[in-house]
Chains A and B, each alone.
Chain A
Amino acid sequence: MSSEPASTRSPLAEAYWRRRADLLRLFAARSGARDEAEDLLQELFLKIDAIDAASIANPDAYLFRLAMNLMVDHQRRRISRQRRERLWSTESFALDNDRSSFGEAPDAGVERTETVMAIATAIEELPVRTRQAFRLHKLEDLTHAEVAQRMGISKSAVEKHIMRALRRLLPLTEDR
């Protein structure tokens, strides 16, 4: 699909162009916004362009590692940015505003909003330490190691808390 001649591409760039459509789908699913997914793909491309791909044994695996980490990092950055922006903001919290304030995809309707509210409630109901770990990680953009330090517990304990939170919250997101 690209205009670039195949011979000049690194194996990593080959993998990128081959898996680009799949990655776009995943980025869009996670961020809920197509244009954000496109931006992320662009960021990914700039990253792989700067990498010396000669020593990479499995370009596809390497590409997915870069892409998925970028996606997870991006979500965390976005969450902590949104939190800063909305802290003490005086905007109305009416449900109708959710679309604009969350950057919700245009196809997301009221049901989606209700799901988000149900999850928000479930987060409140998590055990205190689990909720604390989950919030520090997601809201303050801290790595598991940083959360561990902040809470005075081991990194594996933090992982358990985060995994417990996600396992508890995921069922609420099932399509009905």
Chain B
Amino acid sequence: MTEAKPLPTAADVRSVAVGWALRIERQDMDDAGWVEFTGWIENPDHLAAFEGVQRRLGLIDRAVTAPAPTATVAKRSGPPVIWWAAGGGLALAASIAGVLVLAARGMGGGELEFDAVSEARTVALSDHTEVALRPGSVMTAAFDGRHRAVKLRPGSEAAFDVSKDHARPFEITIGQRLVRVLGTAFDVNYQPDVTRVAVSRGVVEVSSPGEPERTVILTAGQALKIRQAGADWSTHSVRPENVGAWRRHRLIFNNQPLSEVASEITDATDVAVEISPAAAALRFSGVLKLGSAAEMANALQLFLPVRAKAMPGRIVMERRRISP
């Protein structure tokens, strides 16, 4: 009466062993499960298969703490691009770049330095974050399984487009401050006398690890200005399109009061632009080529009934009288 049952193959046994291992890994198997498992593993073949699965799980455990991604520098024409990749990713990065790969493995304990000496450059990091560095900027980056950390040297400005990765917050250290983000676009301008963080997309948190009460959350369209010397932290609004305007060499305005236009010019150039009360109500729509504050103020004279006067360290814009 009994039908001959095919003997389980090694592959069958192995897949049952994987099933047991995964159930055990969950750590919530009931009594009946344990009794069944204990019976199953009495069989030496089953024990050997289960041992094999444990060895494989052990490899995965080790991979979880595997070293930080190693770095390769891929050279090609155009702006240099840095690829970060772990293990097998190396070959992939090389084939995308399609050219010479210089191994930079183990450089300074997984920390890499990027600088934009005389011209702006864009750096693509392994997590697909893009960082545009303004000429004269220096950034170091250290990524691992848990952190994405970059540091900016004073005198740097960088526009970030950070990829989303909730498990690995993206942190930027600028002197004593820390900017912490989760997938967003923003600009950090870190100068010796003033630091400015402006957000075009998402949410950014700026803090001073030494002073926990000084934490500012910025959303798209907001900017924070910190005077290095004092305790002066002030926020103001910006047009998201104008964050990182230096990359596009222009400022864009859409029916904005002249006071806002002036504050964006100030942001971009660090020169104070004052608006006389009579001119404050004027509105401007248009595109200004990014230049010095005086150049941009002069350009505004072509569009609005205003006159720009250069004073020591600032520019004053007054309403122009229409001549009779």
Contact = CB atoms under 8 A, between A and B. Distances in A.
Interface of A: 22, 25-26, 29-32, 57-58, 60-65, 68-69, 71-72, 75, 78-79, 82-83, 86-94, 97-98, 101-102, 104, 112, 114-124, 128, 131-132, 134-136, 138-139, 143-144, 159, 162-163, 166-167, 169-170, 173-175
B156 interface: no
B55 A29 contact: yes
Contact of A62 (B34, B86, B88): B34
Contact of B56 (A71, A88, A122, A173): A173
A121 B105 contact: no
23 contacts: A26-B47, A26-B50, A32-B62, A57-B31, A58-B34, A61-B37, A63-B38, A64-B38, A71-B54, A72-B25, A83-B64, A92-B106, A93-B67, A98-B67, A116-B66, A116-B87, A117-B88, A118-B88, A119-B63, A120-B63, A123-B64, A135-B64, A169-B63
Interface of B: 18, 22, 24-29, 31, 34-35, 37-38, 41, 47, 50-70, 85-89, 105-106, 108-110, 126, 142, 144-147, 164-167
Contacts of B63: 116-117, 119-120, 122-123, 169
B52 A79 contact: no
B164 A128 contact: yes
B89 A121 contact: yes
A121 B167 contact: no
Contact of A79 (B22, B34, B47, B65): B65
A104 B57 contact: no
Contacts of A117: 63, 66, 86-88
A117 B147 CA distance: 18
Contacts of B31: 57-58, 61
A29 B62 CA distance: 13
Contacts of A124: 69, 86, 89, 126
Given A61-B34, A163-B22, A170-B18, A22 B54 contact: no
A63 to B, nearest CB: 8
B60 A101 contact: no
Nearest to A103: B62
Nearest to B106: A92
Contact of B146 (A63, A82, A83, A98): A83
A172 B86 CA distance: 15
A36 B11 CA distance: 30
B61 A79 contact: yes
Contact of B87 (A68, A71, A114, A174): A114
A90 B144 contact: no
A163 B24 CA distance: 11
A27 to B, nearest CB: 8
Closest 8 CB pairs between A and B?
A117-B87, A119-B63, A173-B56, A120-B66, A93-B67, A90-B109, A132-B167, A61-B34
Contact of B65 (A82, A91, A94, A170): A82
Contacts of A69: 27
Given A58-B38, A118-B87, A119-B60, A94 B105 contact: yes
A172 B305 CA distance: 70
A93 B87 contact: no
B12 to A, nearest CB: 16
A104 B62 contact: yes
B38 A61 contact: yes
A30 B56 CA distance: 8
A93 B57 contact: no
A118 B56 CA distance: 13
A132 B105 contact: no
Given A128-B164, A135-B64, A75 B58 contact: yes
Contacts of B110: 93
Nearest to A155: B28
A60 B58 contact: no
B113 to A, nearest CB: 15
Contacts of A112: 59
A139 B109 contact: no
A122 to B, nearest CB: 8
A161 B52 CA distance: 23
B109 A89 contact: yes
B67 A101 contact: yes
B62 A102 contact: yes
A120 B62 CA distance: 9
Nearest to A25: B51
A94 to B, nearest CB: 5
B86 A138 contact: no
